[in-house]
Amino acid sequence: MMNLRHIEIFHAVYQTGSVSAAARLLHVSQPSVSKVLRHAESRIGLPLFRRVKGRLVPTEEAHVIYREAQELYQRYESLRETTANLKHGDGSLRLAVLPSLGLDVAPSAVAMLHELEPAVSLDIQTLHNKDILRSLYERRCDLAISFDAPSHPRLKAIRVGQGNMVALFRRENFANAPPELTQEMLASRKLIGLSGSGYVGSLFNEDPDQPTPPRQKITVQTYYVAAALVRHGVGFAIIDEFTARANMSESLDYRPLADMAPLTVYCTFLEDRPLSQLAEKLVRLMKKVIKSSDDR
């Protein structure tokens, strides 16, 4: 069996392709790396690498072991990071943020936090919703900022604010737009579709009494790409108001949709990992940022 030291050395050599590079990565001597690697091979009774043109190339068995060891190694790294944070105090925070909330809302709150706590280490990932939840489960982030509260017994969510779904358009394409838009007003418009999104689908349903859905000749996966296409005159986009605000210019405008429920923003975390004081501070700042945007 390989122990954690074997896995650490094996992982470094696998990724770098040489003993010397692995030694530099781990801040140890080359003989130490070679010794541990040989010991790992003797323990499992299989060669892990073969030398090809001066590089160590993984064997087929090594590829299999690497895939199995990857999750374990990541957890090991997470444990090392956690113990380091405990030693040095509450000084780091790892965030997972939806791309649409990563354009303006989350960065505004993070900027405030950084001003209050300049010594804090922050790691910010922009991920899609399903990847955000996985990041929490795998403990690759401490706090997730997203729409919708996940219904999972391992997760807890704090409501930090809400916004609307809006129609974003070029001003020249919708002169004298009313304060709110309805399905009927958008039925004849060319819409940029959102693949994998339930929001647009819930707006234009199959009720025969409803107007014909708009043509969706272009579909995208993220709101900010939809906003960029609107800016280039491709059509209208139904997106969240946070993305709309972050993309505002003299040529663009937006209106809330009268027949859609509001979006709620949540900060989500693992129930068995209560929020640190730093994370709680960021949650308060998120509430402040969203409230201030509502007041504008």
Nearest CA to 217 among 199, 188, 190, 180?
Answer: 190
Nearest CA to 186 among 210, 164, 222?
Answer: 210
Distances (CA, A) of 129 to 145, 146, 295: 9, 7, 27
pLDDT at 34: 94
The separation between CA 215 and the C-alpha centre of its own chain, rounded to angstroms, equals 30
Residue 15: other Cβ atoms inside 10 A: 11
pLDDT at 204: 46
Distance CA 271, CA 287 (A): 20
> What is the identity of the amino acid at 259?
D
pLDDT at 229: 93
- The model carries a pTM of 0.64
Length of the chain: 296
User: Terminal CA-to-CA distance of the chain, rounded, Å?
Assistant: 61
What are the mean pLDDT values of the chain's consecutive 10-residue runs (296 residues total)?
88 92 92 94 92 90 90 77 57 88 92 91 86 82 86 87 91 91 84 63 45 64 87 90 89 89 90 87 95 71
Q: Rounded to the nearest 5 degrees, what angle is found at the Cα of 90, between the Cα atoms of 86 and 93?
A: 105
DSSP characters over 21-88: HHHHHHTS-HHHHHHHHHHHHHHHTS--EEEETTEEEEPHHHHHHHHHHHHHHHHHHHHHHHHHHHHH
Distance CA 23, CA 27 (A): 6
Distance CA 190, CA 216 (A): 7
pLDDT at 296: 58
Instruction: With H, G, I as helix, E, B as strand and everything else as coil, classify residue 97.
Output: strand
Q: How many CA atoms lie within 13 A of 107 on its CB side?
A: 10
pLDDT at 205: 44
pLDDT at 218: 83
Nearest CA to 257 among 188, 195, 192, 177?
Answer: 177
